[in-house]
Amino acid sequence: MIPTLGFDGRRVLVLGLGRTGQAAAASLAAGGAEALVWDDSATAREAAEAQGLKLADPSRSETWENLAALVVSPGIPHLYPEPNRWIAAALDRGVPVDNDIGLFFRSLGQSDWDSFDTPPRVIAVTGSNGKSTTSALIHHVLVEDGREAQLAGNIGRGVLDIDPPGDGGVVVLELSSYQTELARALTPDVAVFTNLSPDHLDRHGGMGGYFAAKRRLFSEGGPDRAVIGVDEAEGRFLANQLSEGPEDMRVIRISSGTKLGGPGWSVFVRKGFLSETRKGKQVGSIDMREIAGLPGAHNHQNATAAYAALRAIGLGPRQIEAGFKSFRGLPHRSQRVGEKDGVTFVNDSKATNVDSAAKALAAFPRIRWIVGGQVKEGGLGSLSNATENVVKAYVIGRHAAETALDLGDLPLEVCETMETAVARAAEEAEEGDTVLLAPAAASFDQYDNFEKRGEHFARLVAALPGVTSAN
């Protein structure tokens, strides 16, 4: 656990009692604060009391007396579409509002660091798509290389749950916009921006607010190195804002598909080869075509981000390449779950929006596409230019018939259930085909979350006669 510093003997209220809130309360108490907790759910409050946590009802004026801070869980809105009522009360009273990420950064440095040969470092990854894979890939390479590393934040453990890092230790954080938008301290050693595409726009008041939430990771504390994906205008703008000029080596520009040059530091993948250049000269390369766990342009972008971050803390190209080759991917993200007679089955249940689905569709040559679910605003019409590799679509979801209308002239079959879709795709698939679950939609019409949806797909594939595991 990372004890929260700066609140010794002071009262702090934690709002929201999920994993994040419980860890924040324990961390505050470990640091000497009087940790108070609240959740609007009576069930959550009962569970908290059973664990010995001290409830404090924010509807009572005495709860706010001498309150040093309000620490909120990431799912609670503080501005758009409208502030939570207790956050609004804190704003009215001038009580500082923070989250667990802010507590982590203000508290990470410990007194024993003075005796370390190499101070611990933090690599923080944000962006719309690929941040989980990028974070996991960085962590995997570090562990494979024998380094002390911990994975936390929006993936792995909560940031305050991790162990205090040791000499030379690295903490890898995946940070969502919900986490970066409110943290009062954001001071990673290396910060990574993968890409930007529309998501969570109601929470951030539009695309500008969404980008601003991501940008805070780079503007609030100023990382020693910034790794910036420049395949979108926002990334190019951010790289420009952070750089003092083309030669500024504090900014590493990355791209999937575009050759980058110039006098600065860049990493890009083109035609299956990752290249690192500095001062106009190539200083490292990896043949990505040989790396099964990172298929497709979107995973190549993840690889450029991970490679750049690892190079920024001193790993060599061959160390990174070795880690890449042993990486098997994350569950539900271009995860190969089975093979049969030359047909590969891939679980990309995390492709919950059209942008991530389009990237999955570009990763394989002949696709039997399982698509559908709770389709987000805008529908699937924008995917029409991304389906050239699709042999046939198998549409699932409670509103599968309506979803099918968005797919135009694409050969398709309305299946509604995952069972039917997997069975029909497997029956019709030929050698060289990929049966790909990339729903381009949320899961909530039929599943609790995208993980449950992906797990169901994987179980159905494993039950098919003759299928062998791809792991």
- Binding residue positions: 127-133
Minimal CA–CA distance to 366: which of 344, 389, 392? 389
d(CA 73, CA 179): 9
Burial of 279 per CB tally in 10 Å (0-12, 13-18, 19+): exposed
d(CA 433, CA 337): 14
Judge contact between 149 and 172, C-beta under 8 A: yes
Q: Looking at 205-295, list the stretches that DSSP marks H as alpha helix, in order from N- to C-terminal side.
A: 207-219, 233-242
d(CA 361, CA 442): 17
d(CA 133, CA 137): 6
The one-letter amino acid at 432: G
d(CA 70, CA 36): 10
* Residues tagged in the binding site annotation for ATP: 127-133
The one-letter amino acid at 20: T
Q: Three-class SS of residue 153?
A: strand
Q: Which residues neighbour 63 within 8 Å (Cβ) at sequence distance 6 or greater?
A: 13, 36, 38, 56, 57
d(CA 148, CA 153): 17
d(CA 12, CA 14): 7
Strand order in the sheet with 335-340: 335-340, 343-347, 434-437, 367-372, 390-396, 412-416
Structure tokens at 213: 């939430």
Q: Which residues neighbour 394 within 8 Å (Cβ) at sequence distance 6 or greater?
A: 368, 369, 370, 371, 412, 413, 415, 420, 421, 424, 425
